[in-house]
Amino acid sequence: MTPAEAQRLLDTADCIASADTVQAALDRLAADIALRLAGECPLVLPVMGGAVVFAGQLLPRLAFPLEFDYLHVTRYRGDTRGGAMEWKVLPGKNVQGRVVLVLDDILDEGETLAAIHGKLTEMGAARVLTAVLTDKDNGLDKPLRADFTGFPVPNRYVFGCGMDVYGYWRNLPAIYALKDNA
C-alpha cells in the first residue's frame, strides 16, 4: 500500500470516536484502574505495537507507583484478519507473584488477550487484569472479558489510537472505521 492509498482509506473512513471521546475514555479508565490497583504496585505490560499509543496516554494519568515493561504477540502482521499467534517478546521483568495489568488497543475476538492472560498466569503472576481502549461489538462469545474497557466499537475494521490499517494510521488521535472492511 502506498501513502496515497493509505490517505484514501482515511478520507473515505467513518470517524466513530472523536479525539475528545478517546480522551474522556482514558480519563475514566485511569480513574477505574486507580480505584482497583493504586495500592498494588502493578507491573503494567502493553501489547506491542497497538497498545503503545494507549499506554503512552494512559500511564501519565495513573498517579500511583507501578512498574513498566512490555510484551509482543501478534495475530495480524499488517493484515486486516487475525492468523496464527506469534510470540515475539515475553516480559523482561519477572511476573512471579505480581499483579499484572495488560494493556491492549482492542478486544476483538479475544484470542490474543486470552493467550496472554494464560501465559502470564503460567509464568506465575498472582493476578492478571486487562484494560482495553476498545471492545469490538461483534456478537462473539469471547474467551475473556477485559477488566477495564474504554468504549465499544462497531463490528467493522477500526483504526487509529494505536490500531492500524495495513500498517498505517496508528498515530491518529481519533478512531475510524473502514467503509466496507477493505
**Three-state DSSP class for 111?**
helix
Using only C-alpha atoms, the chain has a radius of gyration, in whole angstroms, of 16
The cell numbers describing 41, all together, are: 504496585
The cell numbers describing 142, all together, are: 469471547
180 is catalytic: no
Annotated catalytic residue: which of 108, 137, 164, 180? Answer: 108
Question: 159 and 105 in contact (C-beta within 8 Å)?
Answer: no
Q: What letter does residue 93 receive in the DSSP assignment?
A: S
Closest of 40, 93, 53 to residue 71, by C-alpha: 93
Question: 117 and 131 in contact (C-beta within 8 Å)?
Answer: no
- Active site amino acids: 108
